[in-house]
């Protein structure tokens, strides 16, 4: 990324962008496994690739605190209102739902942003609310309230019922983890809900993807097998499902499945080969991904593991897209954050189904 967009990104990341990287995180962020508060990804689809940066705004207080981060995030969101194509109208409808201290006594809900840049177009922006700090019942109530305010209550009710039914059938926890919005006033602007699937079962991922109306089961199954092989338990550690909603739909419109590719490959060389096969499956040139890897890899791919941390797949009718999420080794990995009790989550889901 060069030129005006790179300068814009530096401005968005300030003040923490000016802090020396050092040997430890000034404020460990959930954005990356090592606590670094930013992640780079590239979406490969027909046409030009899209570069994305997901980041958490860090506050100016010393020490940095969750409260100062929320203040920094709010200030950044206000600044984004002046960007081309950005609208805060839908954000304004739901911001108070996720606000710190919303009567629940939980830790503050982290707020993240992302920039997505397609060459030749102004950057697009999203905002994310981290539900992982909340008890399961609060996650469900917040998401339900937000979706009602956005006029998407029926679509959310459909999703909640389908997830509850599936959980009762197979006992697998599907954990609500993020809520996100496109900061865009266009008719195609989305609300997005992310689930962490506590299973390596490919069948669980196929069920979650099938909640979306645009899902093509045969195409997705073929894509999954290309990446994973035929082992029914090959999906790796805690894969994610993102369901996207639009205002004209009575159910989720699109689904994207995220695989932690580092959890089922021995090296970045193996990961690159699997990702290349998936790209070829979708009619995409894997050579572009390999060229990018050569430019950013800090060491030979057969000597590293985890640079390509996640790969996602989204089927969109006659074509799919593949995104690769990079994690650059800056700090020692943080301890794994323990999830809240899964039995409590299943209880909430059972209440949804019986309502």
pLDDT of residue 14: 78
**How many other C-beta atoms are found inside a 10 Å radius of the C-beta of residue 73?**
21
Check if the beta carbon of residue 339 is closer than 8 Å to that of residue 198: yes
Angle at 162 between CA 158 and CA 166, to 5 degrees: 170
Check if the beta carbon of residue 246 is closer than 8 Å to that of residue 253: yes
Helix pair 286-296, 268-281: axis angle to 10 deg: 150
Phi and psi angles of residue 119, each rounded to the nearest 5 degrees, phi first:
-50, 130
| Token pair in block for residue 256 | 């994207």
pLDDT of residue 33: 87
pLDDT string in tens for the chain (355-residue length): 455 678 888 888 877 788 888 888 888 899 998 899 999 999 999 888 999 999 999 998 889 899 999 999 999 999 999 999 999 999 999 999 999 655 556 678 999 999 999 998 999 999 999 999 899 999 999 999 999 999 999 999 999 999 999 999 999 999 999 999 999 988 899 999 999 999 999 999 999 999 999 999 999 999 999 999 999 999 999 999 999 999 988 999 999 999 999 999 999 999 999 999 999 999 999 999 999 999 999 999 999 999 999 999 998 766 789 999 999 988 887 775 544 434 444 444 444 444 4
Residues 6+ apart with CB under 8 A from 100: 66, 67, 70, 108, 109
Phi and psi angles of residue 33, each rounded to the nearest 5 degrees, phi first:
-60, -25
| Token pair in block for residue 103 | 């009567």
**How many other C-beta atoms are found inside a 10 Å radius of the C-beta of residue 18?**
8
Number of residues assigned to the chain:
355
Check if the beta carbon of residue 57 is closer than 8 Å to that of residue 73: yes
The answer to whether the predicted template modeling score (pTM) of the entire model surpasses 0.85 is yes
Closest-CA residue to 115 (of 94, 85, 149): 85
212 class by beta-carbon count within 10 Å (0-12 exposed, 13-18 middle, 19+ buried): buried
**Helix-, strand-, coil-residue percentages of the chain, each rounded to 5:** 40, 20, 40
pLDDT of residue 299: 94
């Amino acid at each position: 990324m060069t030129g005006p967009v790179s300068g814009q990104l530096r401005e968005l990341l300030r003040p923490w962008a000016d802090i020396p990287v050092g040997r430890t995180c000034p404020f460990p962020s959930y954005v990356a496994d090592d606590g670094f508060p930013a992640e780079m990804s590239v979406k490969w689809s027909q046409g030009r690739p899209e570069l994305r940066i997901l980041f958490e705004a860090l506050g100016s207080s010393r020490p940095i605190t969750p409260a100062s981060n929320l203040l920094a995030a709010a200030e950044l969101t206000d600044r984004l209102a002046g960007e081309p194509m950005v609208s805060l109208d839908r954000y304004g409808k739901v911001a108070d739902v996720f606000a710190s201290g919303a009567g629940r006594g939980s830790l503050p809900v982290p707020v993240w942003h992302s920039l997505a840049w397609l060459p030749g177009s102004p950057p697009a922006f999203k905002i994310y609310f981290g539900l992982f700090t909340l008890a399961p019942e609060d996650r469900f109530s917040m998401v339900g309230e937000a979706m009602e305010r956005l006029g998407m209550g029926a679509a959310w009710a459909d999703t909640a019922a389908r997830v509850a039914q599936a959980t009762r059938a197979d006992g697998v926890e599907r954990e609500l983890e993020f809520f996100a919005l496109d900061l865009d006033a266009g008719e195609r602007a989305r609300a997005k809900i992310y689930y962490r699937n506590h299973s390596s079962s490919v069948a669980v991922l196929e069920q979650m993807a099938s909640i979306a109306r645009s899902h093509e089961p045969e195409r997705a199954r073929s894509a999954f097998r290309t990446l994973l092989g035929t082992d029914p338990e090959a999906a790796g550690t805690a894969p994610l499902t993102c369901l996207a909603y639009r205002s004209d739909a009575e159910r989720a419109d699109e689904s994207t499945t995220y695989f932690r590719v580092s959890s089922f490959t021995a090296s970045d060389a193996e990961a690159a080969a699997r990702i290349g096969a998936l790209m070829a499956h979708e009619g995409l040139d894997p050579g572009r991904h390999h060229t990018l890897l050569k430019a950013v890899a800090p060491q030979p791919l057969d000597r590293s593991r985890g640079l390509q941390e996640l790969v996602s797949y989204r089927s969109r009718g006659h074509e799919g897209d593949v995104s690769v999420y990079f994690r650059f080794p800056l700090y020692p990995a943080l301890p794994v954050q323990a999830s809240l009790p899964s039995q409590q989550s299943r209880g909430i889901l059972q209440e949804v189904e019986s309502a």
